[in-house]
């Protein structure tokens, strides 16, 4: 008999895929009272992660300081645990 198992994608590899996706494909901006400003300098931090079936889910907080105020948002990136490809993206994760 011959058995073959597939390990799948590690959490660390999937997290890197999620962060690279955000960095390369998402533009960040901040809204003021009467203006919208592109954010060039920002920090990304994974604040939660879990595996749901064949998918890694990452909640990422993006923050930037504009003047004296820190703006932040959370978003969800889902990575296929078998292929390490982006399965979905929610820019307004709670």
Predicted confidence (pLDDT) per residue in 41-89, tens digit: 889 999 999 999 999 999 999 998 877 888 889 999 999 999 999 999 9
Number of domains in the chain: 1
Q: Which residues contact 42 (CB under 8 A, 6 or more apart)?
A: 28, 62, 63, 64
Cα separation values, 22 from 7, 27, 67, 78, Å: 25, 8, 24, 11
Virtual CA dihedral for 7, 8, 10, 14, nearest 10 degrees? 170
Predicted confidence (pLDDT) per residue in 9-38, tens digit: 999 999 999 999 999 998 887 777 777 778
Q: Domain of residue 44: give its range.
A: 11-90
The answer to the question of residue 19 being in a domain is yes
Enter the pTM of the model: 0.83
CATH code for the domain of 26: 3.10.450
């Amino acid at each position: 008999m011959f058995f073959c198992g597939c390990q799948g994608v590690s959490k660390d590899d999937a997290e890197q895929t999620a962060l690279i996706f955000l960095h390369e494909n998402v533009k960040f901006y901040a809204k003021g009272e009467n203006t919208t400003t592109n954010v060039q300098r920002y920090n990304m931090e994974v604040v939660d992660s879990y595996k749901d079936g064949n998918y890694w889910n990452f909640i990422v907080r993006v923050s930037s300081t504009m003047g004296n105020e820190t703006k932040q948002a959370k978003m969800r990136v889902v990575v296929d645990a078998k292929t390490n490809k982006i399965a979905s993206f929610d820019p307004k994760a709670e």
